[in-house]
Structure 1
Amino acid sequence: MSATNQTSVKEFFIVGFPGLHPMYFGLTSVLLFFVYMFTLVGNGIFLILFITDRSLHKPMYVIILNLVVSDVLFSTTTLPKIIARYWFQAGAISFTACFVQMYFVHYFGTVNSYILLIMALDRYVAICYPLRYPTIMTNSIILLTSIISWVVAKACPLMMVIRAYPLPYCASNTIIQCYCDHISITTLACTDRTPYAFPAFVFAMVVLLVPLAFIVSSYCATIVAVFRIASTQGRLKTLSTCTPQLIIIALYFFPRCFVYLASNVGITFSTDLRIAIIMLYSLLPPMVNPLIYCLRTKEVKQTLMKTFTKQQLIHNAAA
């Protein structure tokens, strides 16, 4: 009998936090709903500013635009279902839909990793080769590399789904997680998970550590170049252009690396804490990234203030 024929599970049930008392379900759903709304509004504001103000049509902001799109799509893939689970007790998800969600969870995570790599390379060229920056990092080059990132990122998540989908699922159907991902699904398979877990772990490490290695290398070279600048004011001004990217990269990579490595070196912690850390690094960056762009990036801040002032003038004139 084939593995596909052995599968008796027709749907999965997303549990979320297994230790969460039912009396807190409503509060959790409201909290997640506001996280989703803040993510949509914050990233939507940047998207509108980018579309309406041509002064933002520069390589760095084209990179941020890709990050915005990926963040919104990731949050839309994961949050509505877990909100429905706690708000309406609608945690059931069909067998196929769970694998579709799994694909997009890993796909958008991979895209983010590649986009952050492009962001680091952009800052490296801007600081180490400032005179050549306009010819190296053009909008066309950034657009091309971004498209390549979105296309190349499809391969590994698709392979993970293709390998996991035919496995026999004949026992528990409860996903101990807030969304369907490779680990939470394949642990439910009625077969030895090792042949599927190790390639998935290698994929995760490649997607995380290879871009991270390039990012760390580029920022080390960038910092060396910064400290060669004679004036203290010049050094601080140059470093300030890297600060938003460093914050974003730290929020994305460090918690992920900790969770993946901890689970494979014997560090144990409670299921609820593990899920909380995963939700933190999954949902916090998409929500706070727009704040980082606006508060730490001078041009975005100026564009936002100019738009706000213009709207105030229109409102006052109408009144």
Structure 2
Amino acid sequence: MSDSNTTDFKNPSTFILLGIPGLEAAHVWISIPFCAMYAIAILGNITILFIVKMEPSLHKPMYYFLCMLAGTDLVLSTSILPKTLTIFWFNSREIDFSACFTQMYFIHCFAVIESGIFVAMAFDRYVAICDPLRHSTILTNPVVAKIGLAVVLRGIMLILPYPFLGTRWPYCRTNIIPHSYCEHIAVVKLACADISLSSYYGLFVAFLVRGLDMIFIALSYTQILRAIFSLPTKDARLKTFGTCSSHLCVILAFYIPGLFSFLTHRFGHNVPLHYHILIANVYLLVPPMLNPIIYGVSTKTIRDRLLRLFTH
């Protein structure tokens, strides 16, 4: 490990990731659940993509959005975990300067894309439950493709200033990042310059983008719940409510830890660092693991197709 934390330098060739500071002795044990979550995420999301591709009856808007979510989860979890595991297992803490900003871009870009997909899926469920007769005419394949393209372009364009600004600050104090991956604010805090622009832009993305996404999702599910409670039979209400509540749990598992991690970087100076870093990892690893289980296995059509695949 480099001793460059006490050396004057400008824009070092490498950064040093500490993993989870304060829990170095437990890194190997922490890697076990992390590795299990990653394996489930990879296997589950690839299975979702395979089943939807092979089953013509699943070529519908809901499952197209599910495939977008699965692809996003694969990239998101792969952007963070392989490097984290090399830190835990081999103490390989160095990461190239440009590779660090590339990882930063992919993590934040696909987190924004995932947020947009949750909004699109909430809108799809709103139309399917509240206006089912018009669902096929509102969410046609071209409309779904345009929504998916808009979600991806939004993520690409909004996060582009992160590495663009970050690579232009001079780094002359230290190259040690007290984190397990290159999180935006954790990296730019190392700059020996006024990083207000990066900080304010990060706040803008968090509150305008994710805040608006959460509002749209809340409005959609409020209307969905109103429609559920107006259903004529108790069984229909319970079935639909159970599906929506599981979806909401996955959405909350993505947004709440993410907002906690973001706000802690700026305001949570009294939060223990190891606790903060654990939450920051969990919010990027748990949703990719839960999404194929909640959205996939709990969906009867996918579950039946999966059972047929194994029995065959």
TM-score over 0.5 for the alignment?
A: yes
Deviates more, 1:261-270 or 1:287-296: 261-270
Aligned partner of residue 16 in structure 2, secondary structure: strand
C-alpha distance in 2, partners of 1:274/1:13? 18
Deviates more, 1:118-127 or 1:289-298: 289-298
Paired residues of 1:169 and 1:190 also in contact (CA < 8 A)? yes
Paired residues of 1:77 and 1:105 also in contact (CA < 8 A)? yes
1:19 is aligned to 22
Residues 272-302 of structure 1: CA distance to partner in whole angstroms, max 9, x if unpaired?
Answer: 0011111111101101211113432111111
Alpha carbons of structure 1 residues 176 and 125: separation in structure 2 relative to 1, 3 Å: same
Alpha carbons of structure 1 residues 56 and 101: separation in structure 2 relative to 1, 3 Å: same
C-alpha distance in 2, partners of 1:299/1:35? 24
2:5 is aligned to none
1:172 is aligned to 174
Aligned residue identity for 2:17? I
C-alpha distance in 1, partners of 2:272/2:264? 12
Alignment gaps of 5+ in structure 2:
1-8
Aligned partner of residue 188 in structure 1, secondary structure: coil
Paired residues of 2:115 and 2:210 also in contact (CA < 8 A)? yes
1:305 is aligned to 307
2:118 is aligned to 116
| Equivalent of residue 88 in structure 2, options 86, 95, 100 | 86
C-alpha distance in 2, partners of 1:258/1:87? 27
C-alpha distance in 2, partners of 1:243/1:250? 10
Alpha carbons of structure 1 residues 159 and 8: separation in structure 2 relative to 1, 3 Å: closer
Alpha carbons of structure 1 residues 297 and 244: separation in structure 2 relative to 1, 3 Å: farther
Aligned residue identity for 2:223? A
Residues 87-126 of structure 1: CA distance to partner in whole angstroms, max 9, x if unpaired?
Answer: 1111101111101111101100000000000000001101
Aligned residue identity for 2:77? S
| Equivalent of residue 35 in structure 1, options 31, 34, 37 | 37
Deviates more, 1:233-242 or 1:161-170: 233-242
Alpha carbons of structure 1 residues 36 and 174: separation in structure 2 relative to 1, 3 Å: same
C-alpha distance in 1, partners of 2:234/2:123? 24
2:159 is aligned to 157
- Confirm or deny that 1:230 pairs with 2:232: yes
Aligned partner of residue 132 in structure 1, secondary structure: helix
| Equivalent of residue 184 in structure 1, options 183, 186, 191 | 186
Paired residues of 1:43 and 1:290 also in contact (CA < 8 A)? yes
1:313 is aligned to none
C-alpha distance in 2, partners of 1:265/1:63? 35
| Equivalent of residue 207 in structure 1, options 206, 209, 219 | 209
Paired residues of 1:103 and 1:158 also in contact (CA < 8 A)? yes
C-alpha distance in 1, partners of 2:162/2:224? 36
Root-mean-square deviation over aligned CA pairs: 1.7
1:218 is aligned to 220
Q: Report the count of equivalent residues.
A: 304
Normalization by structure 1: what TM-score? 0.90
Q: Give the C-alpha shift of residue 308 in structure 1.
A: 1.2
C-alpha distance in 2, partners of 1:32/1:239? 31
% identity of equivalent residues = 35
